[in-house]
Structure 1
C-alpha cells in the first residue's frame, strides 16, 4: 500500500476487478433472507475488515499531519454504507443481486423510508462481500488488485482532501523545523513561569464552528484561564488546532509570547515567594 498522490487521481472510474471463483461470486450477491445454505454474510464480515485495514493504511501514509481522531473521521467517509452503496450502484451490481421477493422494490438511496435504508445497507454489505471474494478467489494477485482498485475509487471520493494535504505538506516543508508545531512543553513552561501555591491555570473548551482551511476538518478552540493573585478566571490566551491537546498547547504558547503579561505575573510570583 502506497500513499495517494494527486497525480494518480483520474476522472474515470476504475475497472471492476473480477471474482475468479463462480461459487464465491454467487455467495456475494445472495441475501440471507432467501433462506439458502449460503449468503453474503461471512464474506461481508471479512470484506469489512479488509476495507477498514486498507483505508487506514492509505490514510496513515497520506495524511501524515492528521491526528488519529481526524484520521478516523476521514476513514468513516470512505467505508460508510452511503459511500459503498454508491459504488455498488455505479457498477450496476444490482443485476447480480438475489433478494427476497419485494425487498428491492424501493430503489432509493437510503434516505427516508426504512425500506430504502435496508436496501442501502444490503448494497453496502454486498460490496464488502465483493471485496473479500476478489481477494479469496485470487490468492496470488487478489489483494494487490483490490488495493489498487479501492485506492483509485477512494481517491476520487476524497480528492479535495488529498490536494489540500499535499499543499499543507509542501508549506510545512518550506518552513523552518522549529515552526512546524507548537512546543509540546508550552503548558509546563507557562506553569513554571507564573504558577505557585494557590495559583492555577485551567484549559477550557470554547465554542466555535471553525474548520481547517486546508483539510476542511473541524477545529478545536481552547482558552487558558488563570486563577490566583487576586484574579479569578483571567483569560490569558486562546489556541485553535485540529485536536484539543494541540489547541491547549497553542493557547499556552500564545500566552508565553505575550511578554508584558508574563513579566507581570512573574513579578507577582516573585513578590509572593519573597513574602513567604
Structure 2
C-alpha cells in the first residue's frame, strides 16, 4: 500500500473525516466548517481528471469507450471504499447523531471520504498538491491496471488486452471436443454506472480432467463483450490449462485421423 500523503494540520486535515451531523453548519464559513460532503464534490472531479490522464497516457491505443470503462473501474465506489478501508479511514470518522446513518451506508460514505481526502491533499498544498495526489493515486491504481487490463509496455501501451471479438470462438476451437464444455455464467448482477451498463461473466471448464474449473472472468458493456473478455482472461491467466487441453485435443484428433486412415486402408485391401 503506498504511503498516504499527509495533509498539514488545519481545516483540510480534519474535514475529510467530519460528518455534517457533528458540525455546526454555517453557510458563511466555507473552510472552518468544512465536512467531507463538501470536499467529496471536488475530490470526485479530481479523481476523474487524474484517472483520465493516467489512462490516456498509458493506454493511448485503446478506443475512447474502452478508456471510459477502465476509468469507471478505477473511480467506482467499490474501489474507493476498498482504499478507504485499507487506510483505516473508518476509524477516523467523526459523527454526531448521524452515527447510525454512517453505519448503514458505510460503503458509500467511505467512498465519499476517500474523494474528500484527495481534495484535501490538493487544496492544502497549492504548489505540489495535485502532483502528490497524482503520484499516490497512480501507485494505488497500478495493481488494478496490471491485473485487469494488462501490463504496460515501454512505449506506454498495454502489451495485450486489445479487445478480441472472436475470443470465445477461438477458445472453443482450441480446446473443446467430445464431453468437453465451456460455460459462461453471469458472476454478478448487471450494474448501471454513471456512464454505462456493466455485465460480469465467469468462464468454467468441464472436461480434460476438470470439473467446473474457473478459467477466467470478464466484464463489458454487454454480455457478448463480457464473455469474450472472460475468454481472453482465461487464455492469459490459465494458459497452462488451456495449452494442456489443446495438446490433449490435438492428440485425440490425430489418433482419430490415424484410426480412420487405417480403417480406410484395411477396407481397400479387402478382396
Q: Is the 8 A contact 2:19 2:36 kept in 1?
A: yes
Matched with 2:106 is 119
Whole-angstrom distance in 2 between the partners of 1:40 and 1:171: 39
Q: Paired residue for 1:147, among 111, 123, 134?
A: 134
Partner of 1:91: 87
**Cα deviation digits, residues 28-51 of structure 1 (max 9, x gap):** 111123352231122111111000
TM-score by length of 2: 0.52
Q: Runs of 5+ in structure 2 lacking a partner?
A: 26-32, 162-200, 204-216, 230-271
Residue 218 of structure 1 deviates from its aligned partner by: 3.9
Distance 1:67 1:18 in 2: 36
Report whether the alignment pairs 1:75 with 2:71.
yes
Q: 1:135 to 1:221 in 2, by over 3 A?
A: closer
Distance 1:218 1:210 in 2: 12
> Which digits, 9 at most, give the CA deviation of each residue in 1:24-82, with x for residues without a partner?
11111111233522311221111110000000111111112221221111111111111
Contact 1:30 1:98 (C-alpha < 8 Å) held by counterparts: yes
Quick one: structure 1 residues 100 and 60, their matched pair in 2 at CA, closer, same or farther if it must change by over 3 Å? same
1:50 pairs with 2:46: yes
SS at match of 1:140: coil
User: Judging changes above 3 Å, is the alpha-carbon distance between structure 1 residues 220 and 98 closer, same or farther for their aligned structure 2 residues?
Assistant: closer
SS at match of 2:99: coil
Matches within 5 A, 1:1-276: 13-37=1-25, 38=33, 39-101=35-97, 103=99, 115=104, 118-164=105-151, 166=153, 218=220
Contact 2:84 2:90 in 1 (8 A): yes
Gaps of 5+ in 1: 1-12, 108-114, 173-208, 223-240, 243-276
Displacement, 1:138? 1.1
Q: How many residues align?
A: 167
CA distance in 2: counterparts of 1:32 and 1:146, whole angstroms: 25
The answer on whether the counterparts of 1:19 and 1:134 sit within 8 Å (CA) in structure 2 is: yes
TM-score (norm 1): 0.52
DSSP-derived class of the 2:14 partner = helix
> Residue 96 of structure 1: CA displacement?
1.7
1:163 CA displacement: 3.0
Q: Determine if contact 1:31/1:40 at 8 Å carries over to the other structure.
A: yes
